[in-house]
Copies of this chain bind each other. A is one copy, B any other.
């Protein structure tokens, strides 16, 4: 039986997606984005939500104002403002940044403090004693104002390596001044799990609650966090989806799932843990960062099985091949359709979608068809709706809603009031031909307008269809502007969301194919199963 440490009486799950996570390259969060993310973190039930650095940038200041004005009603979590210790040679009570922290009106304030002597000398350009005074003065002032104060000890592990006595002095000074938790930060992410214990033990001697903040530069952010917890840390910092500067922060979802499912600690309620997949996707949608399909626990592929070897055995017992039950984290076991797939996978996938393809010959034909299409560049793994349409066609179950006879689109650099593009779509519905013109911003929008116009009389549902996401990927890099592109379109009718794929050298034609299939799937009757 593997070693499982005893859960501490008090355990903090501290999210810094809105502050440290927002440091990620290409990430930009509006106040509205931050409010939405904070709400889903509160739903998940993290202990603390670090909202940003008031006073350091207008965006963060505006976020805390919005929160204080009642735009953010937290039911489970506490809001934290992040800042630094007061300026060299100044006074906390008169430091404008310290005042900004108070004005953020949060119950908790986290202060970043230097704990590596070289950083005190070369970045702060002051003495080791003045750095300690800055910590002590700022912590005392803020606790005196009735705030709970946590200390982020920056570069703590390198600092301990270079000058252990001083690093520990920083911990002691923080604790003596009234800091509730001292967070050991592996700021440059260079640590390994085997190296955590010694340092955390030493800090533990000071006798203050310890936290851990890790970055993923050695690919060990989660493992380093767990190692610190094994050594006694009772406060873990991280970000949703591991967002953060450089290689990112510890993924709080993975840390939480590991502690709850592998250690059996009841940190959040089981039904809250089952929300982490939704939380992960919500944050991905808000940040516009493509979700990592291989993300532990919550990734789209995290419980997806492909290899023919497994597929047959999975029929016997799924738990032989899964390290945990995907439903615990709100994810699903999935069978994949792919050109590596044997008939077994196609049959399982068919059952999953509610179709009976137990007939071996029929299943083999469909498998060949899938392989052929994937050789052309289609990918059904990413487009379940397109696969279902292919399945229906093969099984003779496809419904004929409309036939497209012709389409054409014009676009240019002249902006009209209804757009810069015009499309003509000619369709036949019940033997009756309709030709409709669509105008729009961009050719896809113009085609969409024309198609909806042509369909809505007969199929009112078509008007409810909305595009959620649109991705274009060039298939053969280096091939030039006439390369083959794959287009994926996610569409929704408000309740369901589905994905279709289109392929071609013409990005518009490929987009049209995906759009056309999205309409076909959206209009068709769901399968029995």
Q: Which residues of A contact B (CB under 8 A)?
A: 1-3, 22-26, 28, 57, 118-119, 122-123, 155, 161, 187-190, 192-195, 198, 216-220, 222-224, 226-227, 230, 242, 244-248, 251, 254, 257-258, 262, 285, 288, 290, 292-297, 299-307, 313, 316-317, 320-324, 336, 338-340, 374, 379, 381-382, 404, 406-414, 419-421, 440-445, 447-448, 466-475, 477-483, 485, 492, 504-509, 511-512, 515
Contacts and interface: CB of A to CB of B under 8 A. Distances in A.
Contacts of A123: 313, 316, 320
Contacts of A222: 218-220, 223
A187 B336 CA distance: 18
Contacts of A472: 470-472, 507
A26 B301 CA distance: 10
A420 B322 CA distance: 48
Query: Which 9 A-B pairs give the minimum distances between C-beta atoms?
Result: A190-B323, A223-B223, A441-B505, A442-B506, A408-B412, A472-B472, A219-B254, A219-B222, A2-B195
B28 A512 contact: no
A440 B481 contact: yes
Given A118-B320, A193-B227, A220-B222, A481 B407 contact: no
5 contacts: A1-B161, A122-B317, A247-B295, A285-B477, A409-B410
Contact of A477 (B420, B469, B505): B469
A294 B251 contact: no
Contacts of A338: 25-26, 28
A374 B303 CA distance: 37
Given A23-B340, A24-B301, 16 more contacts: A2-B195, A24-B294, A25-B381, A122-B317, A188-B322, A188-B323, A217-B302, A219-B251, A245-B304, A246-B299, A246-B301, A246-B302, A443-B508, A467-B480, A471-B472, A507-B511
A323 B218 contact: yes
Contact of A480 (B304, B336, B445): B445
A473 B471 contact: yes
A442 B381 contact: no
A475 B288 contact: yes
A216 B294 contact: yes
B471 A478 contact: no
Given A227-B194, A477-B285, A481-B467, A443 B507 contact: yes
Nearest to A438: B481
A202 to B, nearest CB: 13
A410 B517 CA distance: 23
Contacts of A257: 218
